[in-house]
């Protein structure tokens, strides 16, 4: 299909078939953005595209994309920019959440988490930055997590992968500081999605609809970094950094 330039800025989202990616797509569509939605499940993307078009939002392009396939990432970005004319906002959201004790979690799941949440994330950012630099502008949004602030029992691999996201984006923010390219790091707490519904505890959990709205509000404001929601996680995150390990160990 071809896309016509027009009604709003373009937004490219990875991991858009479910969870936060899907809800951000719905919220962006309501606000008139043109969307490029990617994920491994093309059928789910096509269903979402039909839903958004019925609701009368902006134009929607969908493409199958596994972020662990870096050649595919490069190709899909190039095709999308050609269709949309420019890439205004890229939301690097694709991620998975395997949890388990270190030494007990099958290493295949450790590798899958790192390949998706770290290597796949970096491949997405690298591709986005290539196009941002070529076109002279862009807004890169990375979805990290409050899990990046402190290692928790059974959350080592997931927390480490999100800490990598946060640190990587801090480097990128410094590299682009004097340029027209903007970098946003968003760190959600518990937002009700399939990623965390199996968790034993979900403190301060909020509905996905509210989470999607908060995320898009912050993206539109071009904040540098924020927890989602800001309260109570901005305070909790600081406390997590100083709580003794003995207290953390009791959270098993």
Q: Which two tokens stand for residue 66?
A: 């596994």
Strands (E) across the chain are located at: 10-13, 34-39, 60-64, 89-92, 138-143, 181-188, 225-228
Write down the residue that tokens 């050609």 correspond to: 82
Instruction: Establish whether 101 is a catalytic residue.
Output: no
Q: Kindly state the greatest CA–CA separation across the chain.
A: 58
Rounded (5°) CA angle 72-93-42: 50
Task: Tell me the three state secondary structure of residue 52.
Answer: helix
Write down the residue that tokens 């988490």 correspond to: 113
How far does Cα 72 stand from its chain's mean position? Answer: 18
How far does Cα 233 stand from its chain's mean position? Answer: 18
* 222 conformational bin, left if phi > 0, alpha if psi -120 to 50, beta if neither: left
- Residue (of 191, 7, 177, 188) closest to 85 by Cα position: 7
**Strand 34-39 and strand 60-64: pairing?**
parallel
Selecting among 33, 101, 130, 158, the annotated active-site residue is 158
CA distance 201 to 72: 37
Catalytic residues: 158
């Amino acid at each position: 299909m071809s896309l016509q330039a027009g009604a709003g800025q373009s937004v490219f989202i990875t991991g858009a078939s479910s969870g936060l990616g899907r809800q951000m797509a719905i919220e962006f569509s309501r606000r008139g953005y043109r969307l490029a939605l990617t994920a491994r499940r093309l059928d789910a993307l096509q269903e979402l595209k039909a839903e958004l078009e019925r609701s009368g939002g902006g134009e929607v392009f969908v493409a199958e994309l596994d972020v662990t396939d870096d050649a595919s990432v490069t190709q899909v970005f190039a095709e999308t920019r050609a269709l949309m004319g420019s890439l205004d906002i890229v939301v690097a959201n694709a991620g998975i959440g395997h949890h388990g004790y270190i030494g007990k979690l099958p290493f295949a799941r450790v590798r899958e988490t790192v390949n998706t949440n770290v290597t796949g994330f970096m491949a997405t950012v690298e591709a986005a930055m290539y196009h941002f630099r070529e076109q002279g502008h862009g807004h890169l949004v990375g979805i990290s997590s409050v899990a990046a602030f402190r290692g928790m029992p059974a959350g080592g691999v997931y927390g480490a992968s999100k800490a990598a996201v946060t640190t990587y984006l801090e480097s990128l923010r410094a590299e682009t500081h004097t340029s027209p390219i903007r970098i946003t790091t968003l760190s959600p707490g518990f937002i009700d999605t399939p990623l965390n519904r199996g968790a034993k505890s979900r403190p301060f959990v909020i509905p996905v609809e509210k989470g999607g709205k908060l995320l898009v509000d912050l993206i539109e404001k071009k904040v540098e970094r924020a927890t989602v929601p800001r309260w109570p996680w901005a305070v909790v995150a600081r406390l997590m950094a100083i709580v003794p390990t003995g207290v953390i160990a009791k959270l098993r």
